[in-house]
Structure 1
């Protein structure tokens, strides 16, 4: 396979991973191009390489910077962007977000429903088990992050 084919495949796969993790296709493409680049890129260089609009690239860079996936330095009036290969942080966010945004709120609702209707008790047990499992995963990830000096504190701020 040619190098260009490998690069295209890499961009598609990074894009797919980021979309699965609640980023846009644009975010994925911008991040992939920065990961592939051997040097920091300006917004205009990213626009040329991705074929995306300047405003779309700018929006993605803001989001990716906020999430510790991209950083920039200023040289004069130019900003030079580079990717931070933090797939671990992206992965670590997933169980946290599932737990906080879905499982815990659902468990609270099902607890109330199970008081009035017995058929919800089995679901409540499953949700409690899932909540415990996710909390154990998060504890393991926190321990791993301390050993590897990965900024897990960024999980709570997303």
Structure 2
């Protein structure tokens, strides 16, 4: 029972992570199946392993490929498409967590810009107060956007190691 329980724990972990990131748990189950697989799996194999229909799994795999959670492969002489996943958890986090956060930050920026545009031509204490609040949030939002973009472009472990070294040295480089 140890191997099956270990598999169940891993599958539930990825399904839970998908839910926490605001994704359908199917993405987590698919990732778990592919994470545990020794070799790339076909669409049919993934559907069978997860218990979901071919159409649900196909739709999920297309999304997962688009955001970098799965890699699509072709084997020479085989017409089937196969899927595998990056084995590093940082790649899972990068594709789901950082990308989702960055999208939220970009949406925030766009909405704040729209709100600021609506205040054009408005005078008075209330308009100025709202304008200052928006500008304050926009500055903070811009910093977060830069940090997330940096994390997406660089190896997380290197970035985090440098950040920790900087923090532990009292902020000096």
The TM-score range, normalised by the shorter chain, is: 0.7 to 0.9
Larger Rg computed on CA atoms: 2
| Higher mean C-alpha deviation, range 138-147 or range 36-45 | 138-147
Equivalent pair of 1:95/1:137 in contact (CA under 8 Å):
no
- Consecutive unaligned residues of structure 1, counting only runs of 5 or more, are 149-158
Q: Give the number of equivalent residue pairs.
A: 147
Q: TM-score, normalised by structure 1?
A: 0.74
Match of 1:72, SS state, is strand
- Consecutive unaligned residues of structure 2, counting only runs of 5 or more, are 159-173
Q: Aligned residue for 2:42?
A: 42
Q: Aligned residue for 2:111?
A: 106
Q: TM-score, normalised by structure 2?
A: 0.69
- Structure with greater contact order relative to length (CA < 8 Å, sep ≥ 6): 1
- Residue from 103, 113, 116 that aligns with 1:97: 103
- Residue from 73, 78, 81 that aligns with 2:80: 78
Q: Aligned residue for 1:19?
A: 19
Instruction: Note the C-alpha offset of 1:55.
Output: 0.9
Query: Could you list the per-position Cα deviations for residues 31-89 of structure 1 after superposition, in whole angstroms to 9, with x for gaps in the alignment?
Result: 11101111111222212211100111111111111222212322322222111242243
Q: What RMSD over aligned residues (CA atoms) do the two structures have, in Å? A: 2.8
Q: Aligned residue for 2:161?
A: none
